[in-house]
């Protein structure tokens, strides 16, 4: 079953859509879905007030949002199975706390995409803003499993407090990627302005673009070819192709196990 939601018109006040998960609405008819209540600012509205609703056949539970907007928040939050396809941009907390399934965004995502994610896949064809795969304000546990892929650029503090899983940014990122990392792997194919891996305890960060500078609290370990990244001793490891400067840290912590791999070819200034 596929539920197709088409935004009737642009909205000013954000709408929260965490109640509309594929597994929750599977088996409902059009009128039942239209009657679901969702928060919009201080008031509650019904799905039918905001969206045109259609149902089509599908082999898996699927929800498609057409004419999507940054004003649509918490899409796929807590999702466990099925697929959500978003045609356009989407607002904060998309894929937050998700445990399984797949979210595909044909546009850009706002802050805290994949916040606290535990499993599944979040694939973004456009750009992402800040705190991708991170913990929320006051929290100390970010993404712990699953995969996040941003095909464009991303903002600041991606992977803050990351514990596990993988974040792959194919473009550039802002400051403090991997801050407070406790596990997981962050791969950045573009450039990084600085503050990479600040206060990280464990995990790995790979930079295939240019890194302006490495924090002085990291230790240089030398040049490695095609390294296999292991976060735990029993891991099979993730192999990355290329020649990298390797660093360990962040030595502002006691006995850190964080790993930085920075492209040799793109960073002659680090030699």
Instruction: Give CA separation, 103 vs 113, 137, 235, 260, in Å.
Output: 11, 24, 27, 29
Contact 75/3 with Cβ under 8 angstroms? no
State what percent of residues in the chain have pLDDT above 70. 100
Where in the chain are the domains?
Answer: 111-270
Phi, psi dihedrals of residue 120, rounded to the nearest 5°: 85, -170
SS3 content of the chain, % helix, strand, coil (to 5): 5, 35, 60
Phi, psi dihedrals of residue 30, rounded to the nearest 5°: -60, -45
Side-chain-side CA neighbours of residue 164 (13 Å): 10
Summarised one tens digit per residue, pLDDT across range 190-215 is 999 999 999 999 999 999 999 999 99
> Of all helices (H) and strands (E), which one includes residue 32?
helix 30-34
Predicted confidence band of residue 151 (pLDDT cuts 50, 70, 90): very high
Work out whether the CA dihedral 101, 143, 165, 242 comes out positive or negative.
positive
Is the pTM here over 0.95, yes or no? Answer: yes
Predicted confidence band of residue 145 (pLDDT cuts 50, 70, 90): very high
> CA-CA distance, 29 to 267, in Å (whole number)?
57
């Amino acid at each position: 079953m596929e539920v197709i939601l088409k935004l009737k018109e642009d909205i000013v006040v954000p709408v929260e859509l965490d109640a509309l998960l594929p597994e929750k609405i599977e088996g409902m008819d059009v009128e039942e879905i239209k009657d679901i209540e969702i928060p919009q600012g201080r008031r509650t509205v019904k799905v039918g007030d905001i969206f045109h609703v259609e149902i089509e056949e599908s082999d898996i539970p699927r929800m498609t949002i057409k004419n999507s907007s940054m004003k649509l928040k918490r899409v796929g939050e807590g999702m466990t199975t099925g697929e959500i396809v978003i045609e356009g941009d989407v607002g904060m907390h998309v894929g937050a706390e998700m445990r399984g399934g797949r979210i595909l965004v044909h546009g850009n995502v706002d802050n805290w995409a994949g916040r606290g994610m535990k499993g599944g896949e979040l694939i973004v064809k456009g750009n992402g803003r800040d705190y991708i795969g991170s913990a929320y304000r006051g929290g100390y546990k970010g993404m712990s499993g699953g995969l996040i892929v941003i095909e464009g650029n991303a903002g600041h503090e991606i992977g803050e407090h990351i514990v596990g899983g993988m974040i792959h940014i194919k473009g550039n990122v802002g400051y403090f990627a991997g801050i407070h990392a406790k596990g997981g792997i962050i791969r950045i194919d573009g450039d990084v302005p600085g503050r990479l891996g600040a206060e990280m305890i464990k995990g790995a960060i790979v930079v295939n673009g240019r890194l302006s500078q490495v924090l002085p609290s990291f230790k240089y370990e030398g040049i490695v070819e095609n390294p296999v990244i292991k976060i735990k001793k029993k891991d099979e490891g993730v192999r990355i192709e290329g020649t990298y400067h390797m660093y360990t840290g962040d030595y502002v912590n006691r006995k850190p196990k964080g790993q930085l791999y920075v492209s040799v070819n793109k960073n002659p200034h680090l030699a």
